[in-house]
Amino acid sequence: MYPEQYRYTKEHEWVREEGGTGVIGITFHAQKELGDIVYVDLPKPGTVVERGKTFGSVESVKAVSDIYAPVSGEVIAVNRVLANAPEKLNEDPHGEAWLVRIRLSLPDELKDLLSAEDYQKYTGD
Amino acid sequence: MIRKVRQHPTQNEPLLFESSSPGKRGYQLPELDVPQVDAREALGEGNARADIEGFPEVSEVEAIRHFTRLSTWNYAIDLGLYPLGSCTMKYNPRVNEAVARIDGLAWAHPYQPERLSQGAMEIVARLEAALAEITGMDAVTLQPAAGAHGELTGILLVRALLASRGDPRKKVLIPDSAHGTNPATAAMAGYEVINAPSNQLGMLDLAELARVVDDDVAAVMITNPNTLGVFEEQITGIASLLHSKGALVYMDGANMNALMGVARPGDFGIDVMHLNLHKTFSTPHGGGGPGCGAVAAKSQLEPFLPTPRLARNDGGWTWDYHRPQSIGRVRAFYGNFGVLVRALAYIMAHGGPGLRAVTMDAVANANYLRKRIEPYYDLPYASPSMHECVFSDERQAKNGVRTGDIAKRLIDYGFHPYTVSFPLIVHGALMIEPTETESKQELDLFAEAMIAIAQEAEENPELVRTAPHSTRIGRVDEVTAARKPIVRWRPA
Amino acid sequence: MLDTIGVSSAEDLFAHLPPETRLRRPLDLAPGKSEYEIVEYFRARAAENANGYASFLGAGVYNHYRPVLVDTVISRGEFLTSYTPYQAEISQGTLMTIFEFQTMICQLTGMDVANASMYDGSTAAPEAAMMAMRITGRDHVAVSRAVHPEYREVLATYMRHHGHVKDDARVTEFEYDLDTGGIDFPSLERALGPNTAAVMVQSPNFFGVVEEVKRAAETAHAAGALLIVVFTEAVSLGILEPPRDADIVAGELQSFAISPSYGGPFAGVIATKEKYMRQIPGRLVGETKDTRGNRAFCLTLATREQHIRREKATSNICTNQALIALMATVFMTVYGRAGLRELAEQNLAKAHYLGGRLPLRFGGPFFNEFVARTNGRTPGAVNERLLDNKIIGGLPLDRFYPELADCMLFCATEMNRREQMDAVASVVAAAEAYAR
């Protein structure tokens, strides 16, 4: 269920490291809790995000959930697919429905995140 | 067996734009008694409009049928009970409608000479005085247009008072059970919202509150009774605590129906509060508005009230605009005067004893329903209920039936649902407020429906989960409506 | 019933209230009155107000004929006594009329999206300003002095207290041109800065003058700001080209069969371009399908609203003005495409008849309101003479514009008759003669 090469947070985000950048998304568990997703609010490229602080939100019909940055850095790409097809976040949260790519400012932060196995245990999925 | 309703055909009806046809008309204007003016000449070429594209054209008969048919698709208080918690869906007296339409009141222009507006001003003054007496407060403003508007006004008053003391402060405490407008209001006014947790009695805990109250707290926003329908028994202690720290107590007065003639917020430590005239004071909801969010305050806040205020002058009323400390205007003119007329008519019809009887009946009705429903639904808080009671769907959830489903099945039984999933501190909440309007017959029908649905949840959960079955429209696809919003008609 | 609850009287249900919170005396209010007495009371109060006067007051509240059908429809219990349409299955009547309302507002204003109404125009304007601030991330507003003075006061209150306050000078007023009565563009340019989120103008403005909306839009956009156009006289949209270059339109619908009622309740509205839809405050009704494939309507994009977002809501608004908006919807239906235009043409004709007989202060184009000078006597004195003729004259402007102390704002609608206007003209002419 949870890709081995990703790192995870207790707030149900994942990070995939690629060189000096990190691709960020929300997990299968998160989209399941949220239900049908209707809208995703993401920052613009150039925005600086800080670990633990909110940088966007995900909406279902009746609820809004903040997304917390698992690591710090600068947003260099935003997934345009989600603007017209937010349902992708329910269908493929770990792949096609990535949220943003950031240039990591503190790569060491990755070490503090959970492994796939630990995250699986945490969610009980 | 469903006793309250039986199916019957309802008329179909398209959108106005779909029955529109060029040349149809529903109006006739008198002949012009002055010369016609060419729009392009008078307004300038670029300013004159060619046409209002797509605007409907229907006859008077089509118009009346259109709206009448649509009206038959609605539920309403005139049809039966609305058990909506914290909405106080009481009967809307028709005499209120009649008096609001009297020409001298309905056609009064806010800028007409004051000496030709004394009747209107007298009505405003009398309502202010009545609400001050009912709430135990010193000064009332009727300017805000609705509850949320009144809340914002109230919080701005708090802010202005503290600023005048040179002690601005940054935080507002709000219980986790509060209505969503409370934190939205506090945030709009620039405050940081700090959560105040409820205890296992469903009340604010004085000791817990003492831990979070410091010199940077401007106010606590409470509702009393709270959204669980429970009286905040430590309210005088809470008020003393906040006052001792130089902070104020704001009360959301949405639940005033539980207190009239029995307890007055001004007497138990409240500094400022808002009232919903469209709840407690019977002005019609009309599908979602208008309302009035009157604000009542203690005298220390009076100088900051919105401008203008009524004052006596030469034996008559006048609007006083000279109010240097006022927070300013929160809307143009004087308030929702038409709503004020209705609220005053309601208060006059009841008088003091009548309002107290309203509260007695409202609380009795809620407790009657609680007793009848209690054996079948989980009651998360055992504390005494006032005008509303809150259950949870825990028992039914075991069969996959949630509060939203039970609510939808209630529609098949001929009722509007109760308040679903609120307050948030109760998982799967069912919030029920019958009001004093309801007779025992209607309450019994409702209790029987709730009991029957509880049984269905055990024996035939699928029936409940897919309800309603008897309406023109089944459950709507809210997901697509939010993903791909279509918020206007467009020609094909 | 009390037996079922297990108490001997309803009083017992209050026994748990702490004694110090209890009221120990009856409420000091007059005893309950009969329906007859209530009607008599309000009739007496109504008699103390103006009755049977012709009126030339506008200034944000307009005298237009209210078709009988409006009250017929809204008095139906299913509209009058129904709740907010959260339960779509039993609220399709309300929801569909709101959908029609939203559509007609778009058609009138030239915008793509309109909400289900706001409290009134005076609160719709600051809500539009806050919307512009959210969209641009800036927090300064430049507003024309020719926007309704009380609307500007409300804007000032909202802006003064808005959460994101960073510095004091967040609202700058720019001037009107002393000749045309419209926007003074050099003054507007001076009011703009790198932090300006919006330029706010009203058209027709408070003086009745039609503004150069296109030019205002260009000026605002060049500075990276949005253009908000406010309207107070909805009938003007029957004949005036709508403000298509605006980013946000905020208006008052009182002209559409809503009784003046001493200032309220009214209904405001905000309309905007498609791209700003998610920033619009207030309720929105959307079209969808039900589980059986039928067309249905429901409240949508609720996540903008207070009951879900709580602290992060786009606004704290909960109520809209559904019943009042329904009055407007019925009005728009009764008049329709041709009727609204004809109504507007009549207003234009009446006001220009009167305006042609009075000394106009401004040269800009006007719809049904204009500013006239009173030479010789003060506006107050002119109005006293008019009152003797059972005519309520225009609004003396000194209370809002000291520099226009010798002027008053007249409005003429389809409800004003020629002989009333002739009377006004002769009283004003007599005042001039007095001066000579």
C302 vs A: CB within 8 A: yes
* Percentage above 90 pLDDT, chain C: 86
* Spatial distance between the Cα atoms of C332 and B304, rounded to a whole number of angstroms: 40
B448 vs C: CB within 8 A: no
A39 vs C: CB within 8 A: yes
Q: Find the farthest-apart pair of alpha carbons in chain A and give their distance in angstroms, rounded.
A: 38
C124 vs B: CB within 8 A: no
Q: How confident is the model at residue C311 (pLDDT cuts 50, 70, 90)?
A: low
The angle at the Cα of C387, spanning C381 to C388, to the nearest 5 degrees, equals 100
Q: What is the least distance, in Å, from the CA of B355 to any CA of chain A? A: 37
- Is the torsion defined by CA of B261, B267, B270, B271 positive or negative? positive
Region A46-60: what's the mean pLDDT? 90
Tokens 């589980």 belong to: C291
pLDDT at C318: 52
A38 vs B: CB within 8 A: yes
Region C21-50: what's the mean pLDDT? 97
Residues of chain B found within 8 Å of residue C108, distances taken between Cβ atoms: 52, 55
Residue in chain C lying closest to B231 (CA): C17
B40 vs C: CB within 8 A: no
pLDDT at B463: 97
Question: What is the per-residue pLDDT across B418-428, written as a single tens digit (0 to 9) for each?
Answer: 999 888 889 89
Token representation of residue B479: 């997901």
Q: In what order do the strands lie in the sheet with C248-252?
A: C113-114, C268-272, C248-252, C226-231, C196-202, C140-144, C171-174
Architecture of domain B358-478: Alpha-Beta Complex (3.90)
Continuous segment of H or E residues that includes residue C18:
none
| Direct distance between the N- and C-terminal alpha carbons of chain C, in angstroms, rounded to an integer | 83
pLDDT at A33: 85
Instruction: Count CA within 13 A, CB hemisphere, residue A4.
Output: 0
Residues of chain C found within 8 Å of residue B149, distances taken between Cβ atoms: 119, 123, 317
Contact C278 A39 (CB under 8 A): yes
Identify each DSSP E strand in C145-257 by its residue range. 171-174, 196-202, 226-231, 248-252
* Percentage above 70 pLDDT, chain A: 99
C41 vs B: CB within 8 A: yes
Q: Are residues C353 and C280 in the same domain?
A: no
Topology annotation, domain B95-348: Aspartate Aminotransferase; domain 2 (3.40.640)
Which amino acid appears at position C242 of this protein? P
- The interaxial angle of helices C322-355 and B60-71, nearest 10 deg, is 150
B36 vs C: CB within 8 A: yes
Region B79-108: what's the mean pLDDT? 97
C279 vs B: CB within 8 A: no
pLDDT at B425: 87
What secondary structure, in 3-state letters, does C274-288 show? HHHHHHCCCCCEEEE
Residue C163: pLDDT above 80? no
Q: How confident is the model at residue C158 (pLDDT cuts 50, 70, 90)?
A: confident
The residue of A34, A38, A40 whose CB has the most chain B CBs within 10 angstroms, and thus the best one to mutate to test that interface, is A38
Question: Minimal CA–CA distance to A99: which of A39, A19, A34, A32?
Answer: A39
What class has domain A7-123? mainly beta
Burial B18-54 (b: 16+ CB within 10 A, else e): ebbeeebbbbeeeebebeebebeebbeeebbbeebeb
Region B406-435: what's the mean pLDDT? 94
Q: Are residues C146 and C199 in the same domain?
A: yes
Question: What is the per-residue pLDDT across A62-115, written as a single tens digit (0 to 9) for each?
Answer: 777 889 999 999 999 999 999 889 999 999 999 999 999 999 999 899 999 999
Contact C379, C409 (CB under 8 A): no
Region C46-69: what's the mean pLDDT? 98
Q: Are residues C195 and C247 in the same domain?
A: yes
Instruction: Count CA within 13 A, CB hemisphere, residue B203.
Output: 18
The residue of C136, C308, C310, C311 whose CB has the most chain A CBs within 10 angstroms, and thus the best one to mutate to test that interface, is C308
Q: Which of C57, C264, C303 sits opposite B333 (nearest CB)?
A: C264
Contact B304, B157 (CB under 8 A): yes
User: Which residues make beta-bridge pairs with B194?
Assistant: B173
The overall average pLDDT reported for chain C is 93
B449 alpha-carbon distance from chain centroid: 26
In a domain, C14, yes or no: no
Question: What is the per-residue pLDDT across B197-226, written as a single tens digit (0 to 9) for each?
Answer: 889 898 999 999 999 999 999 999 999 999
pLDDT at C433: 72
Question: What is the per-residue pLDDT across C9-28, written as a single tens digit (0 to 9) for each?
Answer: 999 999 999 999 999 999 99
Tokens 């506008």 belong to: C58
What chains are in contact with B, requiring at least 3 Cβ pairs below 8 Å? A, C
Q: How confident is the model at residue C161 (pLDDT cuts 50, 70, 90)?
A: confident
What residues have CB less than 8 Å from B102, skipping those under 6 apart? C42, C43, C46
pLDDT at C314: 54
Question: Minimal CA–CA distance to C96: which of C333, C341, C276, C302?
Answer: C333
Residue C229 to residues B103, B180, B336, C67: CA-CA distances in angstroms? 33, 30, 24, 28
C51 vs B: CB within 8 A: yes
Question: What is the per-residue pLDDT across B18-60, written as a single tens digit (0 to 9) for each?
Answer: 999 999 999 999 999 999 999 999 999 899 999 999 999 999 9
Residue C288 to residues A122, B115, B185, B473: CA-CA distances in angstroms? 38, 53, 31, 11
Question: Minimal CA–CA distance to C243: which of C125, C357, C379, C108?
Answer: C108
pLDDT at B179: 78
Contact C103 B25 (CB under 8 A): no
Q: Are residues C249 and C374 in the same domain?
A: no
Contact C148, C123 (CB under 8 A): no
Residue in chain C lying closest to A83 (CA): C275
Question: What is the per-residue pLDDT across B362-371, written as a single tens digit (0 to 9) for each?
Answer: 999 999 999 9
How many domains does chain C divide into?
A: 2
- Can you spell out the DSSP letters for C71-128? HHHHTSHHHHTPPPS-SGGGBHHHHHHHHHHHHHHHHHHT-SEE-S-BS-HHHHHHHH
Q: How confident is the model at residue C167 (pLDDT cuts 50, 70, 90)?
A: very low
Pick from B92-106, C181-195, C326-340, C375-389: least confident: C375-389
> The pTM is what?
0.94
Region C406-416: what's the mean pLDDT? 97
A39 vs B: CB within 8 A: yes
CATH number, domain at C308? 3.40.640.10
User: Which residues make beta-bridge pairs with C259?
Assistant: none
Tokens 């909406």 belong to: A59
Q: How confident is the model at residue B315 (pLDDT cuts 50, 70, 90)?
A: confident
Which domain covers residue C293, as residue numbers?
A: 70-330
Residue in chain A lying closest to C300 (CA): A61
User: Across the B/C interface, how many CB contacts are shorter than 8 Å?
Assistant: 643
In C162-279, which ranges are continuous DSSP H helix?
A: 185-191, 213-222
Question: What is the per-residue pLDDT across C92-151, written as a single tens digit (0 to 9) for each?
Answer: 999 999 999 999 999 999 999 999 989 999 999 999 999 999 899 898 999 999 999 999
What chains are in contact with A, requiring at least 3 Cβ pairs below 8 Å? B, C
A44 vs C: CB within 8 A: no
Contact A39 C308 (CB under 8 A): no
CATH number, domain at C409? 3.90.1150.10
Tokens 């204009």 belong to: C370
Question: What is the per-residue pLDDT across B254-303, written as a single tens digit (0 to 9) for each?
Answer: 999 999 999 999 999 999 999 999 999 999 999 888 999 999 999 999 99
The residues of chain B that CATH labels 3.40.640.10 are 95-348
Residue C305: pLDDT above 80? no
Region B176-200: what's the mean pLDDT? 85
* Spatial distance between the Cα atoms of C140 and C131, rounded to a whole number of angstroms: 12
What residues have CB less than 8 Å from B336, skipping those under 6 apart? B142, B145, B290, B291, B292, C264, C265
Q: Which of residues 87-106 of C touch B (CB under 8 A)?
A: 87-94, 96-100, 102-104, 106
Instruction: Count CA within 13 A, CB hemisphere, residue C353.
Output: 23
